[in-house]
Structure 1
């Protein structure tokens, strides 16, 4: 038996029937909604509840992550958009044009996270431009989190529907 045949037997490339794909999807969205602009959301509620040093730590962490995110967007934004567009287009063509299920799965993971990334850059720019702090900053991060969760719910719904369709249409042993 060849090594590549062994690998493909261990790692099922039929993504939508693979438990690990669904675990990865759940972990991805759980992480994306917990880490708002790189700041754990429990810091937001702790800052509101305790104030003082917790508020200062929260604002410092937001400031650091906003500056980091905007620096990346300014320095490498065009390159990241180009590579991301190429990658998503290649996955869409391979997945939906040529029927490669693994590419479909990666596309359904990557496209919504692209929207989350763009939303994060936009939110970071608003925070810096308006100089938000205190309750205003907490509200803005809360709205950002709700938007990320909405994108996540829609993404999981679409991915689930497509995955069920693929499992029913293709069947357990492929076509």
Structure 2
């Protein structure tokens, strides 16, 4: 029984009172705001400051990632959309109708990330359409990063408020 209790302490499905959930939340949003369309932010800064080879490398990497995103959207976009809707419907039912805390935590993590995914696809299409390069490309990437950070801040705030509510409610119920 001691082995079972040890595992149960580390893999707890009560997410909002679990430190690991909050670590994952921070890492996910830190990573999402660091990689702008799959390009590390330091690469954008280096290209902006020094130009030359760094700017060429940035434009090549953005072009590769933009083409990849748009290709995936064109080839399997409807399948991805259908699967995503199925997953969110399932999570939503578990989170709301059945009040499963783990599903609530996943929903609060995955839904804003899906918004960032849609924003990435939109930004990729804009970059490809206007064939952005140089300063225009930098501005697009910086704006995308800013919007990602705003979505992340709102997401972390809402998740923290919901988590505190859940912990206070479950704590007062003795559960």
Aligned to 1:165: 165
Give 1:173 deviation, angstroms: 8.3
Cα distance in 2 for residues equivalent to 1:74 and 1:103: 30
- With over 3 angstroms needed to count, the CA separation of the structure-2 counterparts of 1:22 and 1:53, relative to structure 1, is same
Flag structure 2 segments of 5+ consecutive residues without an equivalent.
none
Cα distance in 2 for residues equivalent to 1:57 and 1:172: 56
Task: Please list the CA deviations of residues 51-95 of structure 1 after superposition, one character each: whole Å capped at 9, or x if unmatched.
Answer: 110000000000000001111111111111111111111111101
RMSD: 1.7
Cα distance in 2 for residues equivalent to 1:80 and 1:126: 21
Q: Output aligned runs, 1:1-175, within 5 Å.
A: 1=1, 7-171=7-171, 175=175
What TM-score do you get using the length of structure 2 for normalisation?
0.95
Task: Please list the CA deviations of residues 101-134 of structure 1 after superposition, one character each: whole Å capped at 9, or x if unmatched.
Answer: 0000000000000000000000000000000000
Give 1:171 deviation, angstroms: 1.3
Give 1:2 deviation, angstroms: 10
What TM-score do you get using the length of structure 1 for normalisation?
0.95
- With over 3 angstroms needed to count, the CA separation of the structure-2 counterparts of 1:16 and 1:71, relative to structure 1, is same
How many residue pairs get matched?
Answer: 175
Cα distance in 1 for residues equivalent to 2:174 and 2:99: 11
- With over 3 angstroms needed to count, the CA separation of the structure-2 counterparts of 1:173 and 1:40, relative to structure 1, is farther
Cα distance in 2 for residues equivalent to 1:69 and 1:167: 39
Cα distance in 2 for residues equivalent to 1:173 and 1:65: 49
Task: Please list the CA deviations of residues 125-144 of structure 1 after superposition, one character each: whole Å capped at 9, or x if unmatched.
Answer: 00000000000000000000
Give 1:7 deviation, angstroms: 3.8
Flag structure 1 segments of 5+ consecutive residues without an equivalent.
none
